[in-house]
Every structure is written in C-alpha cells, then in structure tokens.
Structure 1
Amino acid sequence: METATKPNHIGRKISRIRELRGMKQEALADALNISQQAVSKIEQSPDIEDDKLEQIAKALGVTSEAIKNYSDEAVFNYFSNFYDNSTGQVYNNNCTFNPLDKLMESHDENKKLYERLLQAEQDKITYLEKLLKEK
C-alpha cells in the first residue's frame, strides 16, 4: 500500500502567506513590479525559481526558507497553543504600599533637600560678606 505524500506546491504556500499577511495580489504585484495576473500565475505554479522566490519572500517580509517550509498545520498549532497558554498567566497588580505614604515621604525628602540648599546658600553669602569686609 502506497502512502500519499502531499505535494510541495510553492505557489499555494505563497498564496497562504500573502493572505495571512493581509496582502492582496495587487499589492504583491506592485512590490515585485509585475502584474496581478503574473502573481496569480505564480500562485498556481507548483515550482518557482530560487531567485524569483527570494524576491517574493522579500516582498512578503519572510525568508525563502519560511515559504518552502510553510504548512497550515504548523500555523494552526502555533495559534492554538498561543491561545491555550494565553490564559495561564495572571498578574497581580495590587499595590503593596500606600501611595499617600510614598507621597508624604517624597514631600519630606524634598523639604529636607530645600533646607540644605538654603543653608548652603546662606553659608555662601556669609563667606562672601566676610571676604568683602577683609578687603
């Protein structure tokens, strides 16, 4: 009994990636400087030359290897796992301190700093006055 292997249809893979990226055939055609009909023909082709594949990959914002290795199952699995795991993390955003206490601490620190600066200025003034009297 022979097992059926899935054909590696590059054109379909390009089409799926383009659709997943939310890009229309016209937009891809503009990026490649070709017609929309040429893009349609490419997407119907089972094989594409490597240099053309590189250009298409660049226009789609992926690598040529990503196009060659693309599979719908992998994408569905990724998003299924992403969705399943998204509910697993719960964050506790409760404050562990009283914001009013922090505000008062900050105010007291600012007051002390102001008093030190004021004292430094007064010391400077007395020193300068002393220098003036000596002359």
Structure 2
Amino acid sequence: MSTLIKPNHIGRKISRIRELRDMKQEALAQALGTNQQAISAMENSETIDEEKLIEVAKVLGVSVEAIKNFSEEAVLNIINNTFTNTSHDNSTINSINIQPNFNPLDKIVELYERLVQSEKEKVEYLEKIIKGK
C-alpha cells in the first residue's frame, strides 16, 4: 500500500491565506510593488525564495512559519472549535450552525450546463444570421 505525501506547495498556501484574508491578487501585487501576473505566477510556484516569502508574509500579516506550516484542515478545526467549544454560555454565535452543504461536483455540473446553454444560444444566433443572408 502506497501513501501519497502532499507536496509543500508554498504558492498554494500563499493563495489560500490571501483568500482567507479577503485580499485580491491585485491588492497583494500593489503592496509588493509588482503586478497581478507576477502574483499569479508566484501562487502557481511550488517554491519561493526566502526574501520574497518574508515580504509576502509581512503583507499578509502572518509569519513565514505560518505560511510554511499552513494547513487547511487546521484552519477548519480552529473555526469549528471557535464556533462550538469556546464557551458554554448560550450566546447567539454558539447557536449558529454553519455547515457548507454544497458539493463541488454539483457546482462543476452547473457551470457545464451554463456553458452548454451559452453555446446553444450562440449556435441559434449564428443560424439566424446565416438564414438572414
């Protein structure tokens, strides 16, 4: 039985931290004095030089170690524990049950159906133009 080890993809981790901070690539680029394309390339890179990582960490307001050790599962556990186990009072925040209930495959199917519908509309439009000539 083989076990797959997830690669330590620093670019993806930077992307997720940026998204969790509700920051667009353009905003990060501006703070770093570069452009959005450079940020996109950086987020697609598996490794980043240490100096650039320090700059990015400073802009994102986290430590370099936080980026290197970032784990989506850990973030979800922290959020879950914050909403369910932090206090035993009956405050409103603890009574909210937040559970995303969409399936990513359903979203892909929905997008595919929209794409197919769009293509059908294009074909109908082109046929109408051809018949008009």
Fold equivalence (TM over 0.5):
yes
Q: Which runs of 5+ in 2 are unaligned?
A: 92-133
Q: What is the CA deviation profile of residues 74-120 of structure 1, one whole-angstrom value per residue up to 9, with x for unaligned ones?
A: 000000011112562258xxxxxxxxxxxxxxxxxxxxxxxxxxxxx
After TM superposition, the structure 1 = structure 2 runs for residues 65-80 of structure 1, keeping only pairs within 5 Å, are: 65-80=65-80
TM-score normalised over the length of structure 1? 0.64
- Cross-structure match for 2:83: 83
User: Taking every aligned residue pair, what percent have the same amino acid on both sides?
Assistant: 58
Q: How many residues align?
A: 91
After TM superposition, the structure 1 = structure 2 runs for residues 1-135 of structure 1, keeping only pairs within 5 Å, are: 1-86=1-86, 88-90=88-90
81-90 or 9-18, which deviates more: 81-90
Letter in 2 for 1:67: I
Larger Cα-atom Rg: 1
1:73 and 1:34 map into 2 onto residues whose CA distance is: 31
Structure 1 moving runs of 4+ over 3 Å: none
Q: What is the CA deviation profile of residues 8-45 of structure 1, one whole-angstrom value per residue up to 9, with x for unaligned ones?
A: 00000000000000100000000000010000000000
Shift, 1:73, TM fit: 0.1
RMSD: 1.4
Q: Which runs of 5+ in 1 are unaligned?
A: 92-135
SS at match of 1:62: coil
TM-score normalised over the length of structure 2? 0.65
SS at match of 2:85: helix
1:39 and 1:10 map into 2 onto residues whose CA distance is: 13
